[in-house]
A and B are shown apart, each in its own frame.
Chain A
Amino acid sequence: MPTFVYMTSCDGCGHCVDICPSDIMHIDTTYRRAYNIEPNMCWECYACVKACPQHAIDVRGYADFAPLGHSVRVLREEEKATISWKIKFRDGREKNFVSPIRTTPWGSIKSSADYGAPTADALNSQELAHEPEALKIDALPALTPDQLKLGLV
């Protein structure tokens, strides 16, 4: 079920535009509000639904097989580190879910820009960017040459 935007709730902050992996959430040119430009290309990942600080994004079924009346609403509570889902079916049934979203305070994770630029030596390292610091361990286990097959190292 692709997403859509309640225009009166949207404040045009652009969070959904930033987060959409399919690049189909855009800002309209008449009202500067977000909208899904291509619902049939929506991955249905609901990243925009979860990211929207105004609860302005909901999802809907395709009109040809799912008549209106259902809804999927999301409440993200950063201070509690939870996300709640309210699924309403066409026949009136409701299902409510609460899930944890993280174990650390909101905003505490460093972004890539917060790490120093890698040196040229990093190209020869087996570790990926920001490892092992970003993994919160001292060192990653690595095989020594004598542990590898003869002739490969």
Chain B
Amino acid sequence: MFTSNPFAELSAFIPPAVMQTYIVVMIILVAGGTLLDVVHKKSAKYFFNNWRNAESKGTRQVSSGEMASLAIQTAVVEGLTSAEFCNPHRRIAHLLTMYGFLAYVITTAIMVFWYPTPATPTPTILPLLWYIGALMVCIGGYWFWFFIRADVAAEGNSPFRIVRADLFILSLLASVTLGLVWAYLQAKGSSWTNLLLGLYLIATTVLFGSVPWSKFSHMFFKPAAAFQKRVAEANGSRSNLPGPADKPAIFGSARRHPRHY
């Protein structure tokens, strides 16, 4: 099961062209939804206002070469390793979910576009990565959902209390979980396969179609905010924060013992 392409088997019922069109529509929904989000919430306006503000308060000019270096650092540190999270559990859960989602989405697109039927045998690695990616999303996502989420860990709410902020993570988990169950049932030849396929498609459509209302676009906004933070650090404006303490030997651990009690 883990080495067979579930979409190639599906091509007996749904033509590959339909599956490919569905993926293109999903990509358009994500791009359109993100643009709508940017316009509606004025995120780009806020970003550039902040940028100009930080630039005017900066104590030095950041060269274009330095800017490129900061962009690479942001991509590697905040993007690829999710270094912004201070809670290591949350960071691990995010990395599992992020890389799992990337593996899951990319292999889905490759299998649907390049190996859509059993006539074009799929390299074993692709379905394997699809399953591993989906399982990684499940591990990271359910861990986050039940234990790490601030609503549960800090607010003390039940993990089953659902609010709008949960739309992204819930639709992602539903899509991936239902996808796994559908692929399993299809491999077993179960009569429930079509029902699960329908649910899988609904969850996936909600995931990619709800971008303007969900937190899906954080994957585009957060790196931009992290980059801005690095630039503010480099140009000396430091987001208006105080400078680093320069006399820790006096003010820090070597301080005099208190004598007032």
A residues at B contact (CB < 8 Å): 8-9, 11-15, 17-18, 26-32, 34, 53-55, 71, 73-75, 77, 80-82, 84-86, 88, 96, 98-100, 102-105
User: For residues 237 through 254 of chain B, which have their beta carbon under 8 Å from a beta carbon of chain A?
Assistant: 239-245, 247-248, 251-253
Closest-CB distance, A75 to chain B (whole angstroms)? 5
CB-based contact A30/B164 at 8 Å: yes
Task: Report whether B242 and A14 are in contact in the complex, using a CB–CB cutoff of 8 Å.
Answer: no
Does B230 sit at the interface, judged by CB under 8 A?
no
In contact, B240 and A96 (Cβ under 8 angstroms): no
Determine the residue in chain A with the shortest Cβ distance to B154. A14
Residues of B within 8 Å of A30, CB to CB, are 163-165
Q: Is the CB of A13 within 8 A of B150?
A: yes
Interface assignment of B87: CB less than 8 Å from any CB of chain A: yes
Which among B155, B165, B242, B253 is the interface contact of A81 at CB below 8 angstroms? B253
Does A27 lie within 8 Å of B242, measured CB to CB?
no
Q: How far is the CA of A11 from the CA of B90 in the complex (A)?
A: 11
Smallest Cβ distance from A122 to chain B, in angstroms? 26
Q: Which of chain A's residues has its CB closest to B94's CB? A: A11
Contact across chains for A86 and B240 when beta carbons are under 8 A apart: yes
Considering the chains assembled together, what is the distance between the CA atoms of A53 and B239 in angstroms? 14
Which one, A11, A27, A88, contacts B240 given CB within 8 A?
Answer: A88
Q: Which residues of B are found within 8 Å of A99, using beta-carbon distances?
A: 251
B9 at the interface (CB under 8 A from A): no
Say yes or no for B192: interface residue by CB 8 A criterion: no
CA distance A63 to B244 in the complex (A): 30
Contact among B86, B215, B221, B247 for A32, CB-based, below 8 A: B215
User: In this assembly, does B153 line the interface, its C-beta being within 8 Å of a C-beta of chain A?
Assistant: yes
Complex partner residue of A86 from B86, B165, B242, B248, CB under 8 angstroms: B242
Contact across chains for B255 and A31 when beta carbons are under 8 A apart: no
Inter-subunit contact A32/B245 (CB<8 Å): no
B55 within 8 A of A: no
B51 to chain A, nearest CB (A): 12
Bound CA span A53–B251, Å: 21
Q: How far is the CB of A48 from the nearest CB of chain B, in Å?
A: 12
One digit per residue, 1 when the CB lies within 8 angstroms of any chain A CB and 0 when it does not, for chain B 133-156 equals 000000000000000011101110
Additional 7 contacts, C-beta under 8 A, given A17-B150, A96-B242: A18-B154, A26-B155, A29-B165, A32-B149, A32-B215, A81-B248, A98-B242
Instruction: Please tell me which one of the listed residues A27, A75, A100 contacts residue B241 in the complex, with CB atoms under 8 A apart.
Output: A75
Name the B residues within 8 Å of A54 (CB-CB): 84, 86
Select one of A26, A82, A88 contacting B245, CB under 8 A.
A82
14 A/B residue pairs, CB under 8 Å, sorted by A: A9-B239, A12-B150, A13-B90, A13-B150, A14-B150, A14-B154, A17-B154, A26-B155, A27-B155, A34-B150, A53-B86, A85-B242, A98-B251, A100-B255
A62 to B139, CA, bound (A): 45
Given contacts A17-B155, A75-B242, A77-B244, contact A100 B251 (CB under 8 A): yes
Determine how close the nearest CB of chain A comes to the CB of B4; give it in whole angstroms: 38
Judge whether B48 is part of the interface by a CB distance below 8 angstroms. Answer: no
- B114 proximal to A (CB < 8 A): no
Cα of A30 to Cα of B166 in the assembled complex, Å: 8
The answer to the question of B85 belonging to the interface, with a C-beta cut-off of 8 Å to chain A, is yes
**Residue in B150, B151, B240, B247 whose CB lies within 8 Å of A98:** B247
CB-defined contacts of B243 to chain A, threshold 8 Å: 75, 84, 96
- Which of B84, B239, B242 neighbours the largest number of chain A CB atoms within 10 Å of its CB? B242
Q: A29-B165, A84-B242, A96-B243 are in contact. Are A8 and B248 (CB under 8 A)?
A: no
Whether, in the assembled complex, B22 has its beta carbon less than 8 Å from a beta carbon of chain A, the answer is no
| Shortest Cβ-Cβ A-B pairs, 8 listed | A14-B154, A14-B150, A80-B248, A29-B163, A86-B242, A84-B242, A32-B165, A82-B245
Chain A residues with CB under 8 Å of B86's CB are 11, 13, 53-54
Q: B197: shortest Cβ distance to chain A, in Å?
A: 31
